[in-house]
Chains A and B, each alone.
Chain A
């Protein structure tokens, strides 16, 4: 534990061939969130090179051991994993070695969080296609964390401004979606949202469940999933004391959430949420990993290879992700 000091949040550079290092430097230079200490976990030479590239002065304390970092009062510091890889900085395309570097920094940060040496972690943007560690290729970060942290399978919750959401089946053909709409999956999604909202300190959270079919199936006239699976899951969640509403027609659920009627939304599929979120400015989207033994967040965007090395990348999403991790860490420490 880190005693009465401000929470220590580990943050990684993500895939260094993309914009990860650049946006991290921008967050540091602009002044990171004041109520936490930031620990950059990764290769210190790469970090220094990205400061140089932006014409910023690199004056962070660099540690080799997590023990030294944990007791430091510095607002921002670096922990050098001595990975090498400077030649890959802002390369602008995926590279297996950069994938490994991102994976190692992520898992090391999460393991330290699990050991209580840091209070939370936020990892920079990376891509699934190059994600590898210990000679093994992983399909995604959830699978990798599941294995390396010896933890249950985590579920991604997206926080968009003040609205938290879970999507039951995200990157799946639309045709396959109905197979995922089971009472068990819907109930689990509601419970996950309730957990994360509570963890984030939202008082009396109100959760909406979107319908699958137009007009929420209109009493079975245009689809039965609402009657057969979604409504029973909602009833069960209510019995467990969760304040949950629905199934609500998908074309109004975000209109209502945007008006402040709900704190959380369970979506059935990817575009239900993403169409709505692009049409209105809900705020930065941060991914929080639920059912995780540690606090871990990430920005919602990828490494944006096309923008790498141009100095024009927007750091606000990363900053929001760090703020969410810091906020969750503070609440956890206060308990």
Chain B
């Protein structure tokens, strides 16, 4: 792939007090990444420069004003410099409202640029929720913020680890509320979003498994009837719309079966149901994808890792995987649009 064909990605720097900047220096030094995409970092140039001194990754920082200015040389990390971190006031490894505010600004700009078509997708680094809140931005995380910036409501979180793709009917709500949210319209929405996303990930005819809510999927109503009342009707609707969907399947085996390749994706009814399965596979290479946005967005699946900030030792695997996945999704979106 050459030049213009490669996905142009807005990569946000995340929380400056965390290990995000260091991880970016490592990920963008990978030849494999440079072959796949054209990266532009949305961040603070001085912070990125300092990150290079921690990681000693090859390459150097160059500030640019617009993605159009970037030249994408392999050993240059081009940064749209928001100049919003005062390095002498920043303590690494600690919650800092300045870093929270800056992180918000990277996401906002990255989203706007991608919405405007200046970049093809946004790949986000870890933010610290507390820092974000202390800076006056009250969001429960990236997903809510991105949905608001994009003006959409029906979003869903998908976690991708290797060939295990898991979408969630609900995420950041109590278990009691999660049970209430597992209703046909929402399940159908998540199924549609998943079907579309898996196609963008390169699978032409996705086969999607739906987990039950209760142990043993309710065992015919013995251990709960949400499968009968809500989940099965949603699956029937999805099938009537042409999707290849199976379920409800017992929650304790559906994710393993998906991981083994029997299905292209699984739908989890609540946060922990999906997260328990995915995290058992290891979190170093997991990617978080937000479905339902008008833009493609992937993210690292780990936190700011304050403990490793400034040490140059943070693992870049999750960001590398997030960049790869965003690149693939951009390519397939173009291809699928061309087919229409």
Measured CB to CB, the residues of A under 8 A from B are: 170-178, 212-215, 217, 221-224, 249-252, 254-255, 258, 269-272, 274-280
Q: What is the CA–CA distance of A222 and B252 in the complex, to the nearest angstrom?
A: 24
In the complex, B3 has a CB within 8 A of chain A: no
- Contact indicator A223/B252 (Cβ below 8 Å): no
Residue among B178, B222, B223, B272 with the highest chain A CB neighbour number at 10 A: B272
Nearest first, the 3 A-B pairs at minimum CB distance are A173-B224, A223-B174, A274-B252
Q: What is the CA–CA distance of A223 and B172 in the complex, to the nearest angstrom?
A: 10
Closest residue on chain B to residue A252 by CB atoms: B279
Q: What is the CA–CA distance of A212 and B278 in the complex, to the nearest angstrom?
A: 18
- Contact indicator B252/A214 (Cβ below 8 Å): no
Q: What is the CA–CA distance of A222 and B129 in the complex, to the nearest angstrom?
A: 15
In the complex, B173 has a CB within 8 A of chain A: yes
- Contact indicator B175/A223 (Cβ below 8 Å): yes
In the complex, B277 has a CB within 8 A of chain A: yes
Residues of B within 8 A of A258 (CB): 280
Complex partner residue of A276 from B222, B271, B280, CB under 8 angstroms: B280
Residues of A within 8 A of B255 (CB): 275, 278-279
Least Cβ distance of B212 to chain A in Å?
Answer: 9
Which parts of B188-233 form the interface with A (CB within 8 Å)? Answer: 213-216, 218, 222-226
- In this complex, how many residues of chain B approach chain A with their Cβ under 8 Å: the count is 38
In the complex, B176 has a CB within 8 A of chain A: yes
- Contact indicator A214/B173 (Cβ below 8 Å): yes
Residues of B within 8 A of A170 (CB): 215
In the complex, B118 has a CB within 8 A of chain A: no
In the complex, B256 has a CB within 8 A of chain A: yes
Q: What is the CA–CA distance of A278 and B255 in the complex, to the nearest angstrom?
A: 9
From known contacts A254-B276, A279-B280, infer whether A178 and B176 are also in contact, taking CB-CB under 8 Å.
Answer: yes
Q: What is the CA–CA distance of A252 and B272 in the complex, to the nearest angstrom?
A: 10
In the complex, B281 has a CB within 8 A of chain A: yes
Q: What is the CA–CA distance of A139 and B179 in the complex, to the nearest angstrom?
A: 28
- Contact indicator B215/A275 (Cβ below 8 Å): no
Least Cβ distance of B183 to chain A in Å?
Answer: 13
Q: What is the CA–CA distance of A275 and B214 in the complex, to the nearest angstrom?
A: 12
Q: What is the CA–CA distance of A252 and B177 in the complex, to the nearest angstrom?
A: 21
Residue among A251, A269, A277 with the highest chain B CB neighbour number at 10 A: A251
Residue among A173, A252, A254 with the highest chain B CB neighbour number at 10 A: A173
In the complex, B273 has a CB within 8 A of chain A: yes
From known contacts A275-B251, A276-B280, infer whether A213 and B174 are also in contact, taking CB-CB under 8 Å.
Answer: yes
Which parts of B238-285 form the interface with A (CB within 8 Å)? Answer: 251-253, 255-256, 259, 270-273, 275-281, 283
In the complex, B171 has a CB within 8 A of chain A: yes
Q: What is the CA–CA distance of A214 and B283 in the complex, to the nearest angstrom?
A: 17
8 contacts between A and B (CB under 8 A): A174-B214, A214-B272, A250-B272, A255-B279, A255-B280, A270-B252, A274-B215, A276-B277
Least Cβ distance of B317 to chain A in Å?
Answer: 16
Q: What is the CA–CA distance of A221 and B215 in the complex, to the nearest angstrom?
A: 26
From known contacts A178-B175, A214-B173, A223-B175, infer whether A271 and B280 are also in contact, taking CB-CB under 8 Å.
Answer: no
Q: What is the CA–CA distance of A255 and B275 in the complex, to the nearest angstrom?
A: 11
Complex partner residue of B256 from A254, A269, A278, CB under 8 angstroms: A278
Least Cβ distance of B127 to chain A in Å?
Answer: 15
Least Cβ distance of A137 to chain B in Å?
Answer: 17
Residues of A within 8 A of B279 (CB): 251-252, 255
Residues of A within 8 A of B224 (CB): 173-176
Given contacts A173-B214, A173-B225, A255-B280, 11 further A-B contacts (CB under 8 A): A171-B216, A171-B222, A173-B223, A173-B224, A213-B175, A217-B174, A222-B173, A269-B215, A270-B215, A271-B215, A271-B252
Closest residue on chain A to residue B168 by CB atoms: A214
Q: What is the CA–CA distance of A222 and B172 in the complex, to the nearest angstrom?
A: 7
Least Cβ distance of B178 to chain A in Å?
Answer: 8
Q: What is the CA–CA distance of A172 and B179 in the complex, to the nearest angstrom?
A: 14
Residues of B within 8 A of A214 (CB): 171-175, 178, 270-272, 275
Q: What is the CA–CA distance of A222 and B181 in the complex, to the nearest angstrom?
A: 14
- Contact indicator B215/A171 (Cβ below 8 Å): yes
Least Cβ distance of A221 to chain B in Å?
Answer: 8
Q: What is the CA–CA distance of A178 and B179 in the complex, to the nearest angstrom?
A: 11
Least Cβ distance of B224 to chain A in Å?
Answer: 3
Least Cβ distance of B269 to chain A in Å?
Answer: 8
Residues of A within 8 A of B253 (CB): 278
Residues of A within 8 A of B278 (CB): 251
Closest residue on chain B to residue A210 by CB atoms: B272
Residues of B within 8 A of A177 (CB): 175
Q: What is the CA–CA distance of A255 and B284 in the complex, to the nearest angstrom?
A: 13
Q: What is the CA–CA distance of A224 and B270 in the complex, to the nearest angstrom?
A: 17
Residues of B within 8 A of A223 (CB): 174-176
Complex partner residue of A174 from B140, B179, B271, CB under 8 angstroms: B179
Least Cβ distance of B166 to chain A in Å?
Answer: 11
Closest residue on chain A to residue B272 by CB atoms: A250
Least Cβ distance of B255 to chain A in Å?
Answer: 6
Q: What is the CA–CA distance of A213 and B213 in the complex, to the nearest angstrom?
A: 15
Residues of B within 8 A of A224 (CB): 174
Complex partner residue of B277 from A171, A212, A275, CB under 8 angstroms: A275
Closest residue on chain A to residue B221 by CB atoms: A173
- Contact indicator B272/A279 (Cβ below 8 Å): no
- Contact indicator B215/A251 (Cβ below 8 Å): no
